[in-house]
Structure 1
Amino acid sequence: MMEMPSHKLLEQMFLDHYKEWCLKSFSYVENMDDAQDVVQNVFIKLLQKENLSHVIDIHKYLNVAIRNESLKKIKKSRETFQLNNQSTEVPSHESELIKGEVSENMLRELEALPEQNKRVFTLCVLEGNKYESAAEIMGITVNTVKYHLKKSFKSLRINLKDVYLWFL
């Protein structure tokens, strides 16, 4: 356990790692202004806390806090977008058929992937596991996981290009 880091220490950490943490947040929120807001909000919350005695590693704590705050920002943005873009139109029978066909095509293409690619894609993309976790589960290296994901995305991109146009 550690004592609450001094404001000077937190300030120095902020200055030393600000760009790094903004890039980490950017990898989630895909907007640099939002990423900067996330990092600043995390530090404001941290400075407002009186007791961080439960924190063992402040760097890990901050990385997790930035990830979580980024995910909250994404969720909030999606909710705002949905509220602003809600349509009063009732989906037609035709649009429901198109959605069903698109889903079937996507599932068919996923099933057509080679077994290793499909397993890696399922673990990393659909289940949200990290590369390291997927590698450990499958007994392969992280680079092999990345290779299988790259091949899966390439195959899906090529085979679903017509389906993608429906979304546009």
Structure 2
Amino acid sequence: MGMINSLVLEEMFLKHYQEWCLLSFSYVGDLEDSKDVVQNIFIKLLQKEFDAPIVDLKKYINTCIRNESLKKIKKSQRTFSLKNYSTEVSSHENELIRSEISDTLFRQIDALPDHSKKVFELCVLEDLKYENAAEIMGITVNTVKYHLKKSFKLLRLNLKDVYFWLF
């Protein structure tokens, strides 16, 4: 068991903070929320112990940010449907845009191949560990990783227009 070197983490945070905020923003559509996502990831990383060293820390953090952003979207979708709609027009328009982006994202997740979709839902949306997802599905951990990689690749490809639309 070990922890990530805090100096390495601090250096990465300073170097890539804006890039990661933009990545999160491309999912959540709100600058403050995207800053919260990135900062929360780093707080968790500073506190977390790992069973094995992380080979590519930047890639690992990118994945964490994507996953956390998707969870935030799902949470905000739930609360959005419960809100009353008598808010300012611009705020309402922003919510509609965000909701449309979320709908597009979830339609794309729904369109994933069956195994990839199930793995994505278990690991990303339900936050299960690879081992648990593998056990539930009766497949190996490497197959879980394969399906996750495939899911993210397909989502990146199918959602590239959404990114451009946001900016």
TM-score w.r.t. length of structure 2: 0.50
1:130–1:124 distance in 2 versus 1, CA, 3 Å: farther
Stretches of structure 2 that go unaligned for 5 or more consecutive residues are 86-106, 113-149, 162-167
The residue aligned with 1:70 is 69
1:132 positional shift? 5.5
Structure 1 Cα separation of the partners of residues 108 and 75 of structure 2 = 24
Identity across matched positions, percent: 51
Structure 2 Cα separation of the partners of residues 48 and 132 of structure 1 = 30
**1:53 aligns to what SS in structure 2?**
coil
Q: Counterpart of 1:47 in structure 2: which amino acid?
A: L
Q: Counterpart of 1:127 in structure 2: which amino acid?
A: A
Larger radius of gyration, structure 1 or 2? 1
Q: Counterpart of 1:71 in structure 2: which amino acid?
A: L
Structure 1 Cα separation of the partners of residues 23 and 31 of structure 2 = 10
Q: Quote the RMSD (CA, aligned, Å).
A: 3.3
The residue aligned with 2:43 is 44
Structure 1 Cα separation of the partners of residues 43 and 51 of structure 2 = 14
Q: How many corresponding residue pairs?
A: 102
Q: Counterpart of 2:5 in structure 1: which amino acid?
A: S
Q: Counterpart of 2:111 in structure 1: which amino acid?
A: E
1:3–1:56 distance in 2 versus 1, CA, 3 Å: farther
TM-score w.r.t. length of structure 1: 0.50
Structure 1 Cα separation of the partners of residues 22 and 6 of structure 2 = 23
**1:55 aligns to what SS in structure 2?**
coil
Stretches of structure 1 that go unaligned for 5 or more consecutive residues are 87-122, 135-141, 151-168
1:127–1:58 distance in 2 versus 1, CA, 3 Å: same
